[in-house]
Amino acid sequence: MQRDSADTAGLVIDPLGLQALIERLASMGFRVVGPALRDDAVVYDDITGIGDLPQGWTDRQEPGRYRLERRQDDALFGYAVGPHSWKKFLFPPVETLWSARWDDKGGMAISPPETSQDKFAFIGVRGCELHAMAIQDRVLAEGDHANATYAARRQEAFIVAVNCGQAGGTCFCVSMETGPKVESGFDLALTELLDGGEHRFLVEIGSDAGAQVMEEVPSAPASAVQIEAAAAVVERTAGQMGRSLDTNGIKELLQGNLEHPRWDEVAERCLTCANCTMVCPTCFCTTVEDHSDLTNQSAERVRKWDSCFTMDFSYVHGGSVRSSTRSRYRQWMTHKLANWIDQFGTSGCVGCGRCVTWCPVGIDITEEAAAIRATPGGKGEA
Amino acid sequence: MMQAVMPPRDPMVPDVYRVSRAQSELAGVVTLEVEPVSGNRPAGLPGQFNMLYAMGIGEVAISISGETPRGFVHTIRAVGAVSGALAGMEEGAVLGLRGPYGTGWPVAEAEGSDVVFVAGGLGLAPLRPAIEAVLAARERYGRVTILAGCRSPREILFRHQLEHWRQRLDVEVQVTVDHADTEWRGNVGVVPSLIRRAAFDPDDTYAFICGPEVMMRFSATALQEANLPAERTFLSMERNMKCAIGLCGHCQFGPSFICKDGPVMALDRIAGILAMREI
């Protein structure tokens, strides 16, 4: 389907239009997921309308610190990112792979689980998060072997992105070139406009599916002033980054500093709690668990999110390869910022800042990278 | 009529195999021949591995130690719950199998050159299919040397096969033990000491090493000291493995995934981190 120039220029909806959009997606059979307030945080959960959104709330984020605060306005997307990412829907933390049972003839019958696949519509996906999805696509869906359930969920997902109107204290998407403006990979992209007493959303259409959905949603063509105001929102956010990370030559920098004394220093603080890997929108490591009934007549195999910060992660007969905290932090950070580039042609970091915010001791990946850059020379790969 | 479209086969779902022969090798070490319950087994290369599943207990990565017309051969040491269950299997037992996965020994690439096999302990098992492939086309290779080390004479794996190979006039076989008993009249010491005495042309030799990581590291060093280029020195690496298809992240070794970039890797690719602790 061709889109005419009015579509390309953009449409404008008000909060009731957003309500109509959510209802329209639900009526199309999508499980609609968006931001909601739970446990003093903005999390991603099932929503039925704009009443579920964190209206008038924002978040204050610093290393090891996250607090909700009231805003001066009624913004629906006036926060940065919370502890959840969309990963938990596309790539569930626990997933049954198959079940096995002994058949009548003493053979083993292995069958995939009987599950109905949810078709997701995501409301409020940020630029960094779109990039995180694209990175997980490369890892989980575009290699020699694919995670089929991930690939199917990803293909069916309808994505309503949001340009960030406010950066968090731990954000550094500008450094990672992943935001704050969403560039591609969405069906619809919203920019929340709150100036001049009006509450509007500029809607940018990113796909034919997005255009079709908007046909059923009351909207008006965007004015030049509104388009300009939306551009200003993104520009203002880009200037508010709480952190920055110098990515110039970072692969060689980290791979060449594997014996840097900074790893010992950060190990003094790191608790190996795995929080950073659980909140990271790109971390993909998993383990498997085997369960059986008491008589071992039937069994199942379950895949679960895992973390390179655990001792079990690197266990081989005789012990764990990475038993020290130093080696486990080094593995995580060098994988994320350096080895990922060798493996998948992209950094594993999108600059969302979650690992910084949700670290209980406030370890800041940007600060650790800067410390190694400031005093390179530790022994590394030849 | 519409044909039902089969979804692509999920690489995490094992095929069902049956043990056609179980043979005890050493204390706690068993060789299993396994065949698919239905259909043919996929092709495998010397050096590759399979994921073997014991019902309700779990899955482990085990190298291929040989092949039969219909199946794979695996040599397993009982060291944990899964390997213990597998090593306890008898003829007729049913298990799951996924694979083969990973890289193989560059047996074809080594044609025309001298070949040195360096095995430590159970490391002879993943080398055996490569040794057999080379000996099956013996005229295509230069000098062939098999160096095997183990802890004690009682722990020499494939002892009869080693003796059989030794009886050939066109293969040099040397076995060494860490600790001799009163009957042992052979070499005593670690495998790298055998490398120093082995005859090969360093300008035209391929070395295939398999054993505990520390043994492979010292063997690689001894080969480097003998002027063998790192790009013709191959090691079979081991790391924790859950998926074997590059999706679970467990087997990372620097930028490599041992499951798909390995297990067989050229020394020049990993030399920078091989001696590094806890990589």
Going residue by residue through chain B, which has 279 residues, state the pLDDT in tens, using 9 for 90 and above. Answer: 344 444 456 889 999 999 999 999 999 999 999 999 999 999 999 999 999 999 999 999 999 999 999 999 999 999 999 999 999 999 999 999 999 999 999 999 999 999 999 999 999 999 999 999 999 999 999 999 999 999 999 999 999 999 999 999 999 999 999 999 999 999 999 999 999 999 999 999 999 999 999 999 999 999 999 999 999 999 999 999 999 999 999 999 999 999 999 999 999 999 999 999 999
CA distances from A182 to A186, B84, B275 (A): 8, 53, 44
CA distances from B21 to B18, B30, B72, B97, B244 (A): 9, 10, 11, 16, 26
Which of A284, A316, A335 is nearest residue B240 as measured by Cβ atoms?
A316
> Is the predicted pLDDT of residue A287 greater than 50, yes or no?
yes
Fold of B114-274: Rossmann fold (3.40.50)
B49 vs A: CB within 8 A: no
B5 vs A: CB within 8 A: no
Locate the chain A residue with the closest alpha carbon to B18.
Answer: A107
**Which part of chain B is CATH 2.40.30.10?**
15-101
First to last CA, chain B: 56
Dig out the tokens for A212 from the structure: 């079709």
Instruction: Identify the pLDDT of residue B3.
Output: 43
pTM of the full predicted structure? 0.94
Question: Which chain B residues are closer than 8 Å to A306 by Cβ?
Answer: 242, 248-250
Question: Which chain B residues are closer than 8 Å to A287 by Cβ?
Answer: 242, 248, 250
The alpha carbon of residue A47 and the mean position of all alpha carbons in its chain are separated, in whole angstroms, by: 18
Strand partners, B150: B177
Instruction: Identify the pLDDT of residue A98.
Output: 95
Question: Which chain A residues are closer than 8 Å to B216 by Cβ?
Answer: none
As a whole number of angstroms, the distance between CA B69 and CA B252 comes to: 34
Nearest Cα residue to A212 out of A17, A2, A15, A34: A2
Question: Which chain A residues are closer than 8 Å to B8 by Cβ?
Answer: 148
Kindly compute the dihedral angle of the four CA atoms of residues A164, A167, A173, A178, in this order, to the nearest 10 degrees: 0
Where residue A127 falls among pLDDT bands split at 50, 70, 90?
very high
Where residue A2 falls among pLDDT bands split at 50, 70, 90?
very low
Rounded average pLDDT over A10-26: 97
Rounded average pLDDT over A152-156: 95
Kindly compute the dihedral angle of the four CA atoms of residues B208, B212, B215, B216, in this order, to the nearest 10 degrees: 30
Distance from CA of A88 to the nearest CA of B (A): 16
Task: State whether A110 and B272 contact (CB < 8 Å).
Answer: no
Q: How would you label A272-289 residue by residue, b for 16+ Cβ within 10 Å and e otherwise? A: bebbbbbbbbbbbbbbbe
Q: Determine contact, residues B44/B100, Cβ cutoff 8 Å.
A: yes
Where residue A105 falls among pLDDT bands split at 50, 70, 90?
confident
Task: State whether A321 and B55 contact (CB < 8 Å).
Answer: no
Where residue A5 falls among pLDDT bands split at 50, 70, 90?
very low
| Alpha-helical regions (H) of B204-277 | 213-225, 267-274
- Per-residue DSSP letters for A281-337? SS---EEEEEEE-TTSSEEEEEEEE--TTSSGGGEETTEES--SHHHHHHHHHHIII
CATH architecture for segment(s) B15-101: Beta Barrel (2.40)
Chain B contact probe: residue of A87, A91, A95, A108 with most B CBs at under 10 A: A108
What pLDDT, in 10s, does the model give residues A198-216?
A: 999 999 999 999 999 999 9
Chain B contact probe: residue of A321, A337, A347 with most B CBs at under 10 A: A321
Task: State whether A335 and B252 contact (CB < 8 Å).
Answer: yes
**Which part of chain B is CATH 3.40.50.80?**
114-274
As a whole number of angstroms, the distance between CA B255 and CA B257 comes to: 7
Task: State whether A288 and B242 contact (CB < 8 Å).
Answer: yes
Question: Which chain A residues are closer than 8 Å to B56 by Cβ?
Answer: 100, 290-293, 296, 298-299
As a whole number of angstroms, the distance between CA A302 and CA A288 comes to: 5
B242 vs A: CB within 8 A: yes
Distance from CA of B248 to the nearest CA of A (A): 5
Instruction: Identify the pLDDT of residue A336.
Output: 98
B8 vs A: CB within 8 A: yes
How many contacts (CB atoms, under 8 Å) link A and B? 126
B279 vs A: CB within 8 A: yes
Which of B12, B79, B252 is nearest residue A317 as measured by Cβ atoms?
B79
